[in-house]
Structure 1
Amino acid sequence: MTDGWQLLRAEENDTEDEKPGQRWELSPELNIDAFNINVAVLEPGERLSQNHFHYHEEQKELIHVAVGCCRVEVANDRFDAEEGDTVRFDAGEAGVHLVHNPFNEPCRIVAIGWPPEGRYPVEKVKTRDELLEERG
């Protein structure tokens, strides 16, 4: 950090290989303890979470679509989130969701979760394929 600020270029850092898509977990690099912040690039056919259609019992989440478009599946609905859109998910079952990219172009998403210690446990409701097969 220099003089009260810090520049971080995600692409200059290692990605989180255990997660779908190309993802950078930035909170540790920025010394942020209040929330988790990630940047992810989802290629066509990829999902944001390794936990598919899921919720966090103790953590709220927010996604911001920086580039492109993604599809958001929620309890009894689905919608497309376009570039510039921001979506918030509550903690608990009411905030169940799946973010994925069924489109032909990559999308870039900023994801924030708070409080950070609420990230786990994650409750997986069903896989992406199971959910999409149900919804048609």
Structure 2
Amino acid sequence: MSDGWQRYQLDESETRDDKPGRRWELSPKLDIDAFNLNVAILEPGERLSQNHFHYHENQEELIHVTAGRCRVEVVDDRFVAEQGDTVQFDAGEPGTHLVHNPFDETCRLMAIGWPPEGRYPVEQVQTFEELLAERE
């Protein structure tokens, strides 16, 4: 860090190979302790979370779509989030969600979770495949 600011370019670092899509975890890179900040790119057919349809018992989350669109699955509904949309998920079972890209174009989004230590445990409710089979 220099003079009270930092610049971080995604193409200067590697993505998380153990997560679906392409994901950059920026909080550690920017020395952010207050929340988890991620940028993700979902190609057609990809989902955001390795935990499928899930919730965090002690963490709230939000996504902000910066390009393209994605489908958001929640407990009793589903909808399309488009560029410029922000969606917030509560902690616990009411905030159960899955974000995925069933469309032909790439989706780019930012995801924030707080408090950061609330990331775990993660409770998986259903797999991606089970949820979609039930809802189609």
For the criterion TM > 0.5, the same-fold answer is: yes
Residues 68-118 of structure 1, C-alpha deviations (whole Å, 9 max, x = no match)? 000000000000000000000000000000000000001001000000000
Matched ranges for 1:84-123 at <5 A = 84-123=84-123
Aligned partner of 2:40 in structure 1 is: 40
Supply the distance in 2 between the matched residues of 1:88 and 1:130 (Cα, whole angstroms).
23
Which residue does 1:63 correspond to in 2? Answer: 63
TM-score, normalised to structure 2, is 0.99
Whether 1:11 and 2:11 are equivalent positions in the alignment is yes
Letter in 1 for 2:57: E
- What number of residue pairs does the alignment pair up? 136
Residue range with higher mean Cα deviation, 114-123 or 3-12: 3-12
Secondary structure of residue in 2 paired with 1:51:
coil
Which consecutive segments of 4 or more residues in structure 1 shift more than 6 A? none
* CA–CA distance in structure 2, aligned partners of residues 11 and 87 of structure 1: 26
Q: Return 5+ residue gaps in structure 2 as ranges.
A: none
- 1:27 corresponds to: 27
**Structure 1 unaligned blocks of 5 or more:** none
CA RMSD of aligned residues (A): 0.4
Give, in whole Å, the separation in 1 of the partners of 2:49 and 2:63: 12
The one-letter amino acid paired with 1:120 is Y
Aligned to 1:53: 53
